[in-house]
């Protein structure tokens, strides 16, 4: 289990950051999304191989347009 934006989130063991974003239904290209794991921003190019450890704290920010 990891923490996602301050809330518990169950994901499979050894899942990558890309897999978690897929589980959340977010776009594959990551456009408009920023992610930090344990306080460190993870570049988008690393998402497919960045394996989340149990207990990791994930902060996800998604840009939205509006007026």
Could you tell me if residue 34 is inside a domain? yes
pLDDT confidence bin for 67, thresholds 50/70/90: low
CATH number where 55 lies? 3.10.20.30
Could you tell me if residue 11 is inside a domain? yes
Whether the full predicted model's pTM is greater than 0.85, yes or no, is yes
The values of phi and psi at residue 64, to 5°, are: -130, 150
Per-residue pLDDT at 29: 86
Per-residue pLDDT at 27: 84
Could you tell me if residue 67 is inside a domain? no
> What is the DSSP annotation of 1-67?
-EEETTEEE---TT-BHHHHHHHTT--TT-TTEEEEETTEE--GGGGGG-BPPTT-EEEEEE-----
Structural domain count, the chain: 1
Per-residue pLDDT at 13: 85
Structural domain that includes position 28: 2-62
Mean pLDDT of the region 14-42: 93
Question: Does pLDDT of 25 surpass 90?
Answer: yes
């Amino acid at each position: 289990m990891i923490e996602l934006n301050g809330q518990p989130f169950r994901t499979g063991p050894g899942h990558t950051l890309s897999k978690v974003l897929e589980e959340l239904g977010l776009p594959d290209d990551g456009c408009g999304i920023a992610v930090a794991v344990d306080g460190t921003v993870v570049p988008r190019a690393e998402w497919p191989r960045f394996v989340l450890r149990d207990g990791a704290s994930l902060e996800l920010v998604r840009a939205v347009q509006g007026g």
